[in-house]
Amino acid sequence: MSVRLTEFSHGAGCGCKIAPDVLDRILHTGTPEFSDPRLLVGNNSRDDAAVADIGNGMGIISTTDFFMPVVDNPYDFGRIAGANAISDVYAMGGQPLMAIAILGWPVDRLAPEIAGEVLDGGRAVCAAAGITLAGGHSIDSPEPIFGLAVTGQVATDRIIRNDTARAGDLLSVRVSEKPLAAGLALAIWFFFVLIFDLVLLGVLVASEGKLNPDLLPWLLLLNPTDIYRLLNIVAFEGGAQLTGVLSLGSDLPMGPGGLWVALAVWFVIPLAGAWALFRNRRI
């Protein structure tokens, strides 16, 4: 009898996250935080990862992402969780260096061999990104949990942050209201975040957590909204930074050319619509 991992999860993927208002109460305890001038990106801007200056124009990226099962297949669960964690490094404009695993497992309810399959999925995604799964930490927990803590590097002048309006810069060449252009671009990006998450949640609910295996490779193409941010690098610094996205998409039923088309679609549609609004002065 096969085991359905999703039956051990009270929340699917990002549905496990603590609500933002509750998280604010947890984080803001009133205790003064140690201030380190080397910290370039912290938790104040709600970015995908933290970045610290290590000198010589380079920064070290540190991030973690883990959640409960979103699919029943252990191997695919490991791949999806691993890809989500690694994508945070790319979203900051960086390249991953190594990863360590985070594993929580109900050892009295699920066989250790199933956890091994989850880890194999994580290793496969790390290998596709050209990094090693160098270690990790595990605990006996009531629900299965898996993810990665990923370390990466980035040139300090190429960091992409939530408050860096590069998409707005592109719009601003067409309009005089530069702050409004930047604000609109960021609003469009957040809109696509919402749409992608709602679509993914709808697919998970409709399939009762049991996704068609043919859909799984597409989930490994990373969040399209991360790609939307990454494409700003292409516009300003060239496409070399996108090699990580292409390697993680190696399982997709398309070649590199198809991936570039996918990136262009996520880039052109929202910005073309925004440009049309500015051109017609309808906002």
195: which DSSP letter? Answer: H
| Token representation of residue 256 | 């590199």
Q: What backbone torsions phi and psi does residue 238 show, to the nearest 5 degrees?
A: 95, 170
Q: Tell me which residues are annotated as active site.
A: 14
Alpha-carbon span 123 to 82, nearest angstrom: 8
Neighbours of 64 (CB within 10 A): 15
Residue type, 89: V
Instruction: Tell me if 97 sits within 8 A of 44, measured CB to CB.
Output: no
> Half-sphere exposure (CA, 13 Å, Cβ side) for 257?
0
| Token representation of residue 68 | 């409960």
Alpha-carbon span 107 to 110, nearest angstrom: 5
Alpha-carbon span 150 to 89, nearest angstrom: 8
